[in-house]
Amino acid sequence: MLIGYMRVSKTDGSQSTSLQQDAMIAAGVDPVHIYEDQASGKKDDRPGLAACLKALREEDTLIVWKLDRLGRNLHHLVNTVHNLTSRGIGLKVLTGHGASIDTTSAAGKLVFGIFAALAEFERELIAERTRAGLASARARGRTGGRPFKMTPAKIRLAMAAMGHKETSVSSLCKELGITRQTLYRHVSPKGELRPDGVKLLSRSQH
């Protein structure tokens, strides 16, 4: 059985699935067996896709208009297709850059194998960059982790602002991009330095 899945990015009705639906019907998909989402491809919550994947059975073929309709990113796409393949389900892409993908054929499997290899290569590059970045940070005396949200420049601005009674703490925190807790850890309500603020300023002077 052929089962279709289509998606448009906007939920305000400005984009239509008509083109995708027409292409699927022309490819032999029964309109009753077409699932739909109106959501960004980056969203995890796609009920139409979840229902579609659940409805697929062994020897079925999933039809999508373009490859980007199915996957949030290359990793998600590769994992989804591997899952389908392990269940004995094929994938066919009708148009776009992935139009040569048809995992029910030997040539299509080869093309998707290249996609999978690229995804693995990308993962290795990301891991390599992360390791190199951490090593470089350690060489500069940092041990990794998230950078400080509070900086010496922000501390000086906070000290000046907190010295004025009319200062709105909420507005100040929003302007500096920090939480109220972070602010008060470094600067007192009167604009005086607190221990964390002293430490941060002293580190910046070395």
Annotate 82-131 with three-state secondary structure: HHHHHCCCEEEECCCCCCCCECCCHHHHHHHHHHHHHHHHHHHHHHHHHH
Q: Which of 89-98, 100-109, 197-206 has the lowest mean pLDDT?
A: 100-109
Select the CATH number that applies to the domain covering 2-120 from these four: 3.40.1390.20, 3.40.50.1390, 3.40.50.2000, 3.40.430.10.
3.40.50.1390
Which one of 9, 18, 40, 100 is the catalytic residue?
9
Model-level pTM? 0.52
CA dihedral 158, 160, 162, 166 (to 10 degrees): -130
Known active-site residue 204? no
**Domain residue spans in the chain?**
2-120, 152-204
Question: What is the average pLDDT score of the chain?
Answer: 79
Taking only the tens place, the pLDDT of each residue in 104-143 is 777 666 666 666 665 555 556 666 666 666 666 666 665 5
Asked if 37 and 7 count as a contact pair (C-beta separation under 8 A), the reply is yes
